[in-house]
Amino acid sequence: MKFDLVIAGVGGQGNILASQVVAKCAMDAGYNVVNTETKGAAQRGGSVLSHVRIADGEIFSPLVPAGQADVLLGFEPLEALRYIGLLSKKGTFIINTAPVPTILANMKVDEYPSTEQIVAIIKDKGLAGHFLNATRAAKELGNVLLTNVVMLGALTAVSNVLSPDVILKKLLTMVDEKFHADDSRAFAVGRGLIGKEG
Amino acid sequence: MQKEFMLGNEAIARAAAESGVKVVAGYPGTPATEIVDLCGGYPGVYAEWSTNEKHAFEVATAASLTNQRSMAVMKHNGTNAATDFLMHVNFTGIRAGMVLITADDPGGLSSQCEEDTRILVHNYAHLPMFDPSSVQEAYAMTKAAFELSEKTELVFALRPVMRINHAGGMVEYGAAAPQSRPAEFVIDRKRFVMSAVVEKESGGELRPKMRHRWLNAKQDELRALMEASPFNRAEKAPGEVGFIGCGIGYAFLKEAERIHGAKLPILKLSTLPLPEGKVLDFVSGLKKVVVFEEVEPVVEKLIKELCFEHKVVLEVLGRSGYLPKEGELSTNLVLTAVEAALAGKPYPATVQGQYVSARTRTQCSGCSHRGLLVALKEVVRKNGGVVTGDIGCHDAGTFEPMNLQATIYCMGSSIPMAYGIKKAGFDKPVYALIGDSTFFHNGLTGLASAIYNGGDITVVIAYNSTTAMTGFQPHPGSANNLNQPVTPIDPGAVAAAMGAKVFRCNPYNVEETARVIGEATAETGVKVVIAEALCYLKFGREGKISFTPRQVAVDEAVCNGCGLCVRTFGCPAISLADNKAAIEPSGCNGCGVCVSVCKRGAIK
Ligand code: SF4
Ligand code: SF4
Ligand code: SF4
């Protein structure tokens, strides 16, 4: 068994928490786990990529090699595009379509591609997966910070390496009790989004 | 033996504590930073943030001379700052086991440069080094380094790369067993006084030459140790092309081997000096070997030398030409090279990737540096001045959209470079922009040099009371050290004592800051402007801020969409939509700096 997950997003979106939840569950299940993050300095808003590698045997590189990821979770569409090359031809992507514009794009010195363009480029690569608006779902639940939990819920609908109950339970142990109800709802909503996206 | 998931830096700290380390000193630098803090958490360990890496190295060495195990922690360019000491401690040797952590950042992912400290520490200073290939190995090597250092009386270095320091994995570890040993300082001037003294016993030779001879003689002992080391080993497989993985290069090679799908002849090399017997044994019968190492062809060249001496003829490929000479290795790079080498082909030319809109680094929204940068920019826009830059969060002021500082080199360069520009005859004002931690690191001597040599510059010290960029470590200008509250050393008082004219302002107040910088500019000599405001990200969480928060919004009736607030300023909370500026309330902390940026008064 091997399961390689990459989570691409922007600083502040909570992808490190999401990757830790998955890593911890895998450890509890007795798997070998290796992970790492690539991110900029203390400042927010930079590109953040988390690698989680799970296997029942030895794992050498902390980085998921290009074309080897079983699942790419894109918390942000441009970041998903940046790292789409990591996804295996047989893998699955789940991409949140809500953009976080770059500073350079805000300044008009750079162009942020439209969601249609990003979707087209990714579809062109012949990869399979799901586009969904996790940010909107999180906002509807009352808190945009739930985006990562929605995405985590969605992950459990495409991969059965770890059971949804286990992942949710682990997540709840890692956040303050006052968020438990919201997180549980966001998780369920995320799971439900898979297959229903249009 | 217990097993736990740990980051590389946690594993290194854990191993040091288990080895009975007593004194740990460092200066923050990605990717090594966390090690010092983590060591400080073990009972009985004294850890500190020294003002720079040279001083950290000196503190740790002194502890070793006092019979206590010690460790100095730094990133690669920090080791450059410590090189002067390195080139002496190699000659004297040490007493209790001592480890130098010199973390490299291949690819310069979080650094001003990409370099390979193996050249500095091994090729240049002739000290032994370990290059870990995994988090578990970083743990094991740290422990071994303490033992072997004590045995050989030499500093042992561990050279983890970013992908080790910041990677997590399962680590089997033992119990922390602090050794209690007496703190004795035995005077031995023949060893620990490095000076051109005549040595009677050696027929009148000078001491530096004698100690050099001692260090050279040590190399045989080290080679024998490395020959026997479990960190170097061969994995046999049929074939005429062999592959050598050094440090993290071995991890990528093993990953590539798995994807390639067939066993390859592999030699894992993780020590310097090389285990020469193992290398010669591995290459015998091979026609070609490819060496994978971060970043320079260090091992590759040593192997070529070794083969030449032993009249072994084979092709040795690697970073000196076959593989890309710059940047990080990866599994895919290694796999490509393995397949090309097996097919007898050159490494394929790298195709340039398609550009995906970058996310540049900038200051946090509400950071005081942005007010300072915009004020200084206003001043130089009017007087044609030049700003030399330094390391820290403010260095993002060199990027779009701020485009302010004209140079950035290394810690403390801003001040000497600023007055150098003036000495060359540049007739407009010159400003050095430096942070507080950097000022104490290597700015003090530059300032003394500027004053002593009659420089005519304005030094602007961004005094935010923390080493923000590496994650908020305290420094001499902070109200605490790693262990306890202290009285901060005010950089303004220091500068004044040196003889500089000192000015003060709050950078959140852009007009005041521009005015004060202007007043300083009008004076002659070396002027120092202390722009004092707490780092928002660190101290804001603690409820301490240096501005009065206000609600800001764009008055759409006044805004003409000129874009100045976006194109020249770059607070992440401000964007342009439908030809009007818009402030995203969730991203804005109400620092009010942008109000001064809009010349039409549309931001209120
Ligand atoms: S961490 Fe502090 S100094 Fe650095 S950009 Fe953020 S607020 Fe500014
Ligand atoms: S707010 Fe002021 S600076 Fe910004 S676009 Fe409008 S008019 Fe220009
Ligand atoms: S939008 Fe203005 S007030 Fe808000 S954080 Fe940015 S600069 Fe400060």
pLDDT in tens, B213-251: 999 999 999 999 999 999 999 999 999 999 999 999 999
Q: What is the ipTM of this complex?
A: 0.94
Say yes or no: A101 contacts chain B, CB-CB below 8 A.
Answer: yes
Say yes or no: A143 contacts chain B, CB-CB below 8 A.
Answer: no
Using the mean position of ligand 1's atoms as its centre, give its distance from the Cα of residue B369 in Å: 7
Closest of B292, B324, B293, B273 to residue B116, by C-alpha = B293
Nearest to A104 among B167, B250, B357 (CB): B357
Confidence of residue B409 (pLDDT cuts 50, 70, 90): very high
Residues of chain B neighbouring A43 (CB-CB closer than 8 A): 361-364, 393, 396, 537
The predicted-structure confidence for B528-572, as pLDDT tens digits, reads as follows 999 999 999 999 999 999 999 999 999 999 999 999 999 889 898
User: What pLDDT does A41 receive?
Assistant: 47
Dihedral, CA of residue B24, residue B153, residue B84 and residue B328, to nearest 10: -70
Residue B262 contacts by C-beta under 8 Å, 6 or more apart in sequence?
B237
Q: Using only C-alpha atoms, what is the Rg of chain B? A: 27
Say yes or no: B255 contacts chain A, CB-CB below 8 A.
Answer: yes
Which of B359, B368, B580 should we substitute to test contact with A (largest number of A Cβ atoms within 10 Å)? Answer: B359
Closest of B26, B35, B19 to residue B146, by C-alpha = B19
Cα angle value B114/B78/B495 (rounded, 5°): 125
Say yes or no: A44 contacts chain B, CB-CB below 8 A.
Answer: yes
Q: At what angle do helices A180-193 and A164-174 cross, to 10 degrees?
A: 150
Cα B591 to Cα B18: distance, rounded to the nearest angstrom: 47
Nearest to A104 among B30, B259, B400 (CB): B400
Q: What is the pTM of this model?
A: 0.96
Confidence of residue A198 (pLDDT cuts 50, 70, 90): very low
- Work out the minimum CA distance from A78 to partner chain B, whole angstroms: 8
Counting from 1 in the atom list of ligand 3, the atom nearest the Cα of B589 is 5
Cα B145 to Cα B64: distance, rounded to the nearest angstrom: 14
Q: Give me the helices (H) in B99-206, please.
A: 117-118, 135-152, 162-165, 189-192
- Which residue of chain B has the CA closest to A112? B357
Q: Is residue B306's pLDDT more than 80?
A: yes
The answer to whether A66 contacts B331, with C-beta atoms less than 8 Å apart, is yes
Distances (CA, A) of A136 to A96, A97, B327: 9, 9, 39
The answer to whether B572 contacts A103, with C-beta atoms less than 8 Å apart, is yes
C-alpha atoms less than 13 angstroms from C-alpha of B230 in its C-beta half-sphere: 5
DSSP letter at B363 equals P
For ligand 1, atom 5, which residue shows the shortest CA distance?
B363
Nearest to A65 among B259, B358, B363 (CB): B259
Q: What is the mean pLDDT of chain A?
A: 92
DSSP string, chain A: -EEEEEEEEETTS-HHHHHHHHHHHHHHTT-EEEEEEE--SS-SSSEEEEEEEEESS----SSPPTT-EEEEEESSHHHHHHTGGGEEEEEEEEEE------HHHHTTSS-PPPHHHHHHHHHHTT-EEEEE-HHHHHHHTT-GGGHHHHHHHHHHHH--SS-HHHHHHHHHHHS-GGGHHHHHHHHHHHHHHTTT--
End-to-end CA distance of chain A: 32
- Work out the minimum CA distance from A82 to partner chain B, whole angstroms: 6
Interface of B with A in 568-587 (CB under 8 A): 570, 572, 574-576, 586
Cα B369 from chain centre: 22
Interface of B with A in 313-332 (CB under 8 A): 330-332
Q: Is residue A39's pLDDT more than 80?
A: no
Q: Using only C-alpha atoms, what is the Rg of chain A? A: 16
User: What pLDDT does B400 receive?
Assistant: 85
Residues of chain B neighbouring A27 (CB-CB closer than 8 A): 5, 170
Residues of chain B neighbouring A65 (CB-CB closer than 8 A): 255-256, 259, 330-332, 335
For ligand 1, atom 4, which residue shows the shortest CA distance?
B393
For ligand 1, atom 2, which residue shows the shortest CA distance?
B535
Say yes or no: A105 contacts chain B, CB-CB below 8 A.
Answer: yes
Cα A107 to Cα A3: distance, rounded to the nearest angstrom: 39
Ligand 1 mutation pick, B368, B369, B391, max ligand atoms within 8 A of CB: B369
The predicted-structure confidence for B166-208, as pLDDT tens digits, reads as follows 999 999 999 877 678 999 999 999 999 999 999 888 889 999 9
- Work out the minimum CA distance from A63 to partner chain B, whole angstroms: 8
The predicted-structure confidence for A122-140, as pLDDT tens digits, reads as follows 999 999 999 999 999 999 9
Token pair for B175:
């119990």
